[in-house]
Structure formats: structure tokens, C-alpha cells
Structure 1
Amino acid sequence: MVFLGIVPKVFLFAFPYTLLAFYLNSYCGVWTPRLPTIGALLVAVGIALWLFCYTQISRAYRRRELLTSGCYSRVRHPIYSIWGLLILPGFSLVIGGFMLGLLVVYWTVVMRIIGEEEKALEERFDDEWREHTKRTSRFLPRV
């Protein structure tokens, strides 16, 4: 499995939508509320958390280990969660308009293809991965 997981496939859908949203925002003149301060705060928190998780997963990947501690101790895919719950919503709140639809595109694509990454992880880590899936949820910590 490659280090980037499903990110390139998600990008293939999200980036064209982002360009379309910028175009539609510019030429359609649709007004939607923008919350740039809240959006910027979400992006800043998201980037800090993303860097923390990225550092952890990078080390584990280099060691060819399944990371089950730190930010991966309660959620199997915290980086996708951070992007889908903090960074992209924050970015969308700053831009407004059709950019708000980016969240729908992102989560639709992630939910449709996350199984590919999980299958590759199961093939690579076998029982260790299956045990990890029993203890954790995909995107949000269990309550």
C-alpha cells in the first residue's frame, strides 16, 4: 500500500469541484453567509492536528508498523476526519457559496473508497488490523 492511501482518488474528485465552485461563486452571484473568522479558526486547528497525526503515521509507515496509539488509538482514519470535519469546512466557511458543497463531495468519495484502503491494511497487517478495527471506529471516537 502506498503512503498516500486514498488521497489521490479523493483529490481527483474534490479538486475539480473546488475549481467549479470558485467559478460558480464568481459568475453566479449567489449569496451565502460567510464566516471567515470561524472558518480560519477551524482551518488553523485542523492543520495543527493534521501535522500531529501526520508525524505519527509517517514514523510508523517508515517502520512498517500499524499505528494503534496516539491519534490512531480511538479512530482508524483521523487524518480523513480532520480534513472532513475541520479543514475543509473551515475553508468552505471562509469562501462560502458553492464551496460549501465540497464537504458533500469529500465525504461521498471517502465513504465510497475507504474500503480499498482498509482492505490493503488488512492484507498487510492481518490480525493486528482486525483487532484494531474492533477497538476503533472509522472517523469519530466511540462514545
Structure 2
Amino acid sequence: MFFLKYLPTQSLLMNYREHFPAGSEPQISSQLEMLRKASLLLRDLDDFFREHDLSLTRFLILVILDGAHEGLQHSQIVDRIDVSSPVISRSLGALVSDGLVEVITDAENKRHKLNRLSDEGRARLQALMRGYYEILLRE
């Protein structure tokens, strides 16, 4: 992931003018501004979750599982988050080790496992939400 700390100047953009259609400079500048804001937001979120011994991926897994009271299979979590299956596996393993997620194994089919938010995980998630939304709502 990259972070766009400074926006290119208008004169720098004009140096690349032949690469984009005439009249699109304002839109390009606007999109770059959006990328800069997103970069700063992601950095703030990463710092927030690091302070709470989490990552954005682990937080998103907790949020997804909070909405699935019966639990979700690994593949269902992968479908809902744009992260690779191995990353989800490692993140789930850490969440299980931390007691935030519990794995429920089907008694009849041992291969069928559901991941569910534990009571501790639900409490931890609720404790994080205020700070999370404060970051999202900053101007």
C-alpha cells in the first residue's frame, strides 16, 4: 500500500498531459486528492488498530462475524473481505488464540466448521467502535 502525502503540482500534471484526454486535469486532481485523503485515513486506522493489538483485517473479520450470529465458514469470510485466503487463515488463527473468535465444529461433519464471535470478541468490538467512528468522521 502506498500513501500519497503530497499532491503533485498542477505544473507536474501538465508534464504528463499527453497521457490523458484534454480537459481532464481537474478530474485527475480531484481523484488524486481523494487518494491522498484515503491514504491518510488508512494510516490513522492502522495506527488506531495497532494501539489496540489488532489489524484492519482482524477488525473487519470481527465486524463480519458480529452480523452472522450462527457463524461463517472460512470461505464465506474470504468472500466478504478482499483479502487472500491465507491472510484470512492467519488472522482467524490469531483471533481464535486471543479468545475473540470461537470455532464451532459440526458433530456430524467434522470438516464443516463455523467461526463465530465470542462474547469477549463482541465486547472488544463494541469497545473499539467509538474510536473507529471518530476516525471515520474526522474532516
TM-score if structure 2 supplies the norm length? 0.33
Q: Which has the higher contact order (CA 8 A, sep 6+)?
A: 1
Larger Rg: 2
- TM-score with structure 1 setting the length: 0.33
